Amino acid sequence: MSFAAEVRGAGRPIVCLPMFSLAASVTAAALEPAFAGRPGRQRHYVDPPGHGAAPPGPETADEIVELLARRIELDRFRIAGFSYGGYLAAALARRYPRRVAGLLLVCHAVRVGREDRDLPADERAPAAAGWLDGVGPELAGHLAVALGRRTPEVAARVVAVVGPGLPRETEYLERLRAKGYRLSDEDSEATFAGPTTIIAGRCDLIGGYADQVRALERYPRGGLHGGRGHRPLSAGRTAGTVRRAGRRLAGQVRAGPRSETGPSLSIPCGRALCRRAARCQARTTARSASSLACCGQVTRLGEKRSPAAAIAARSPASSVVASCA
């Protein structure tokens, strides 16, 4: 057996896939707040091979996707994936679209090779003095890149969930990363017609955001929402966006009307998630993921400009740094 899962609740199933080398418990920490007080949703927190309680398994990502498709014994389900888990979730959706009812991709990889990713410049606010004091060297280097808000409080919250005691099969995962990490259909132009929410960090130096904007073309009913860094556990903007998106995913009963103008891009204006933007998002949590607008600033991908240019055109110059603060 190369697969493990923790099931919580009862009702419509939602399969949740973790970041690379993390575990079901971490995914649950990020998503459970979205389901609090919302019965009728059954959450399947999955450990893929080598993650958490799961032993080593297939040696390639393609084989892992097929393993997940076989072992998820559900006819139809919604799926949420974080980072590399989102990379696998997107593959499941394009290979088995009749089984996937909805998709949530959080800071997901569009291209798994770091050299192939379109990553932003580091425009984060300065880190607080000594913010990594007490964090072990095996995690400190990663957090220095992954977090948008670099404060002792944020670091402590993340370490409490993803600390060095988390179970994993390190040798197997290193082998997978070195030789079998990339999916053979990574560059597929196949579309997924179900409701889709993509969350990307404006200051995500690991997954970026420009690739995710381009990927919206593959999701006719998709919407992209802004976060900050690569970790959805820090109680910052990415964490709040994940909670709202999780509630939308849980609330999908049937496919809503198809958007006539295609996918949409939600762009924060001024200060990061200003009060007006927060009210605007709160009013739209019950809508289809295809049409979230932040303060009325929505960019349609039909415009003849690059995704980065579209973002720059919709955002005041001062908001580039503010959104990363």
Taking each helix axis as running N to C, give the angle between helix 152-162 and helix 24-35, from 0 to 180 degrees, rounded to the nearest 10.
120
The verdict on residue 71 lying in a domain is yes
With bands split at pLDDT 50, 70 and 90, how would you rate the model's confidence at 317?
Answer: very low
* Rg of the chain (C-alpha set): 18
Task: State the residue range of the domain holding 76.
Answer: 4-120+168-322
Confidence check: pLDDT of 322 > 50? no
Q: 246 burial class (0-12, 13-18, 19+ CB within 10 angstroms)?
A: buried
Question: Domain of 45: which CATH number?
Answer: 3.40.50.1820
CB atoms within 10 A of CB 190: 12
Q: What is the DSSP string of 103-121?
A: EEEES--SS-SGGGS-PPP
103/82 Cα distance (integer angstroms): 11
Residue 116 contacts by C-beta under 8 Å, 6 or more apart in sequence? Answer: none
Quick check: pTM over 0.85? no
Phi, psi (rounded to 5 degrees) for 176: -65, -45
Residue 36 lies inside a defined structural domain of this protein = yes
CA dihedral 119, 123, 129, 132 (to 10 degrees): -10
Q: What is the pLDDT of residues 33-73, one digit of tens each?
A: 888 888 899 999 999 999 999 999 999 999 999 999 999 99
DSSP H or E stretch at residue 226? strand 222-227
CA distances from 177 to 48, 64, 298 (A): 14, 13, 37
Contacts of residue 190, Cβ cutoff 8 Å, sequence gap at least 6: 94, 218
Q: Coil, helix or strand for 237?
A: helix
Length of the chain as a residue count: 325
Tell me whether residue 158 is in a domain.
no
Does residue 315 form part of some domain?
yes
Q: What is the structure's pLDDT at 64?
A: 97
* pLDDT higher at 259 or 1: 1
Q: Is residue 280 part of a domain?
A: yes
135 within a domain of the structure (yes/no): no
Domain-located, residue 151: no
What's the structural domain count of the chain? 1
Tell me how far apart the alpha carbons of residues 108 and 88 are, in angstroms, rounded to a whole number: 9
Domain assignment present for residue 82? The answer is yes
Give the pair of three-digit tokens for residue 107. Answer: 């800071």
Structure tokens at 87: 């990379």
> Is residue 289 scored above 60 in pLDDT?
no
CA distance 106 to 169: 23
User: Per-residue pLDDT averaged across 257-266, rounded?
Assistant: 46
192: confidence class by pLDDT, cuts 50, 70, 90: very high
Separation between Cα atoms, residue 85 and residue 214, nearest integer Å: 19
